[in-house]
Structure 1
Amino acid sequence: MSTQPVTSRTVATVRRTTILLGSSAALLALAGPARADVAEGWSDPAPVDGVEALLLLGGIPLALGLIIMAMVYVPAMVRGERIAPNAPLVENQWIGGPRQGTAELAAPDGADSQAGGASARW
């Protein structure tokens, strides 16, 4: 373990961060809720139940997340693919390639042939 001397740049960064976080926390602590009456001509709405607010603000996004997750993972699980992290790669995966492997690829039959892959010429 190597110990490096504390530089003035590090001290300045820590001091600046401490001042920024401290002043932000102080401003948040001083801020209070707004107190205002309902404007004239507006209706006075009934108070919202805490359970209803929890369901609306938490339940609906959670349900949507679960639905999206199911739409992504269920088809892969039905096909029998592994969805775990670090799962081994699918063998012989060549999307749009020949079905029998490289044996189906045409070999170049002459000097001017375009078969056999990239020619690396400009």
Structure 2
Amino acid sequence: MTLEILAVDDSRTMREMIKLALLPAGFRVHTADDGLHGIEVLDGIAPDAIITDINMPRMDGFDFIDAVRKQENYRVTPILVLTTEAAPELKARARAAGATGWIVKPFDPVKLIKALQMVAG
């Protein structure tokens, strides 16, 4: 079974690193460069899970999670936050918005794959 993932991050390097980690493991990866672009990309796909950064231009990760959760089709889609932030209040805010999990950058590709398989598999 191929899991489809949407990765939303304003860093091209980070989007490439996510792809490099997930493609060999059999994932299909769609990318977006900020929350607004993520909402646009989401319109044409049905991801099994979403990965999002928090600090992005135009629409940050919190607003992106809110926007995703407001859409009927994505109310239960797992959302993992992948960010350099580690503050407990930010984690709590992400959970309140509807995030499923939190991974701090730099990430371990094996742990990311396991986390995605756990929440989406």
TM above 0.5: no
Q: TM-score range by the shorter chain?
A: under 0.3
Quick check: which has more Rg, 1 or 2? 1
Question: Structure 1 length as normaliser, TM-score?
Answer: 0.13
Which structure has greater strand proportion? 2
- TM-score, length-scaled by structure 2: 0.13
